[in-house]
Amino acid sequence: MAKYKLLSRGPQAKLGLDIGSRFIKLAQSGTSSQGVQLVNVGYAATPLGSVTDGVINNAEAIGEALTQIVKHFHFKEKKVVCSLPGRAVVIRQVSVPGVNLNDKEIRGAALSEVERFLPFPLDEMEYDYEVLGEVQQGEVKQTSVLFVAAHREAIQRRIEAAHVAGLESVEIDVDPFVLLRSVVESSLFDDQDTFTQTFLLIDMGATSTSLNILKNGVLRFTRVFAVGGDTLTHAIESGYGLTYLEAEKLKREKAVAFIDEEIAQISEEERDAHELVRPHIETLALEIRRSLAYYTSKYRGEGVTKILLTGGGSLLRGVAAFFEEDLGIPVSHANPLKNIYYIGDMKDEAVAKMAPYMGVALGLAMRQMPQKFLGRHCLNVTIEPTYEFGSATQAGSLS
């Protein structure tokens, strides 16, 4: 079996480390009678060029930035859980003939099904699997297996970066599943109405956007697209002839995704920025519409009734209004820190501003919480035996 388990739980860890293309985030969790605690949180900008398509190019630079987070925000814990983004892993649901199979039978059958889809030789990969349940194929009962694999070097670089900062990486998880712990299981604890609907969770990151469709707490469908906040930044960078950092600043201050012409009171600069980012937002909207159409076709006319937005890209002004207008579905912003009790030293306002960025780090920090505790303070998301995952840039090459 793989050395680094991607789905199973291992040693206790209270720190969640999210190494993104734009920011490095570190969160420490705790438990209390009130519920989940956020004990400490810290962040720093990711060194430019050190992460490409979710893969670390420069573990030393990441480690040095992480060292500054640990020192500046006074983290004392050492054991940390890291994760890989969906585009850096292979995730496949496979159906194995037979039921009540032992681990050796499941592993062998699953590997024979997925090995041809792996971008690297099997001996260069780390992998894990989880049994999702039984499925019926005609008159034959089969075992549904979720298989997850990643290149060993991609995992090792995260471990090396943590080691530079004096941290011990004890587990590796996968972003699309991690996010559900904080943004769905915890955040929707007091919103059973949304939890029981068929809803779409859109996570807009720096270099990609992921879609997760859930019904009544069951994850059915995931898609990852190579369109994110950096796509918009590069459009502004090219359109204005700016540096990346200048374009990022202009995007945050001036760009707007949706303009209501009946009430619009925006400057010429804002309108120009809108024209630069609009084609890319429309491309993303087109991919979302295609995914929703596929889902409706697969599930015999069933549609999504609500959309939740999270991730740093969701901070673009007007993006919720744009999707609501384009897709014809109510859209609201998810908050991974909702129902979380912050007990650290940072001002509440500063923590609140970080919320869209913290979904993965917090989900990782919650990974090791006792199941009995989570049962009292969180909902439970499961994965459907016929779950589908797809990525436009899945498990690309290492540089």
pLDDT digits (tens, 9 = 90+) for 175-228: 989 999 999 999 999 999 999 999 999 999 999 999 999 999 999 999 999 999
Whole-model pTM?
A: 0.92
Separation of alpha carbons 206 and 227, rounded Å: 8
pLDDT (tens digit per residue) in 291-308: 999 999 999 999 999 999
Confidence of residue 236 (pLDDT cuts 50, 70, 90): very high
> For 97-147, how does the pLDDT look when each residue is reduced to its tens digit (9 = 90+)?
888 899 999 999 989 988 888 889 989 999 999 999 999 888 889 999 999
Are 81 and 136 part of one and the same domain? yes
* Tokens representing residue 77 in the block: 């814990």
pLDDT in tens, 310-355: 999 999 999 999 999 999 999 999 999 999 999 999 998 999 999 9
Specify whether 69 is located in the same domain as 87: yes
Distance CA 232, CA 249 (A): 12
Within a domain: residue 6?
no
Question: d(Cα 43, Cα 46) in Å, to the nearest integer?
Answer: 9
Rounded Cα distance, 322 and 316, in Å: 10
Rounded average pLDDT over 365-388? 93
Q: Do residues 89 and 205 share a domain?
A: no
* CATH number of the domain that residue 29 is part of: 3.30.420.40
Structural domain tally of the chain? Answer: 2
In a domain, 389, yes or no: no
- pLDDT, residue 399, reads 41
What tokens does 138 get?
A: 């005609």
| Cα–Cα distance for residue pair 391/222, rounded to 1 Å | 8
Indicate whether 248 pLDDT > 90. yes
91 and 166, same domain (yes or no): yes
284 and 159 in a common domain: no
Q: Do 233 and 116 sit in the same domain of this protein?
A: no
Query: Confidence class of residue 6 from pLDDT cuts 50, 70 and 90?
Result: low
Range of the domain at 171: 15-187+335-374
In a domain, 235, yes or no: yes
Q: Are 53 and 20 members of one domain?
A: yes
Q: How far is the CA of 282 from the CAs of 27, 102, 274, 303, 323, in angstroms?
A: 34, 47, 12, 21, 9
Using alpha carbons, select from 371, 359, 366 the residue that is nearest to residue 179.
Answer: 359
> What value does the CA radius of gyration of the chain take, rounded to a whole number of Å?
21
